[in-house]
Amino acid sequence: MSSRMVGIIGGLVMSMLVAGNGVSAHHSYLLSVQQLRAGIAKAPSKSGKGFILVDVRSAEEHAEGFIPGTDFNIDFREIKARHKELGASLTDHIVVYCRSGHRSNIAAEALADLGYTHVYNVSGSMNAWMEAGYPVDSGGR
């Protein structure tokens, strides 16, 4: 292999490594609605479930119904600015959901980018929760 070819390949590898250190890398985890429901069911109390459950939909969507045990409603667009409201340490477990999983994925990645190490996005989110026939709360939390 010519030295020119080695230089080109080396440059490509280096640019991939640099790009890999960007914020686009996924570093949150997926959680099924079945796993979430099991975690909520095992909890001795709402505050004793071992994780913080965050609805990242709009306040209007949240008012229409949310997963029982939800601790906070913070719009996904505001999660970076309002994450301290969670009162979470960087090692606490945080579970986020939205309607389909898209916005909660954005929120989960934003939280992970802020240094939270145990962030979970609920796969399928509210759509999957309701399709599974699980209960939905409304009104005051």
Asked whether 92 and 103 are in contact (CB, 8 A), the reply is no
Q: What is the pLDDT of residue 140?
A: 56
To the question of domain 26-131 being in CATH 3.40.250.10, the answer is yes
**Cα Rg, the chain, nearest whole Å:** 19
Share of the chain above pLDDT 90, in %: 74
pLDDT at 26 over 90: no
Spatial separation of the C-alpha atoms in residues 36 and 12, rounded to whole Å = 41
When mean pLDDT is compared across 45-59, 64-78, 80-94, 116-130, the lowest value belongs to: 45-59
- Average model confidence (pLDDT) across the chain: 84
**Domains of the chain, residue spans:** 26-131
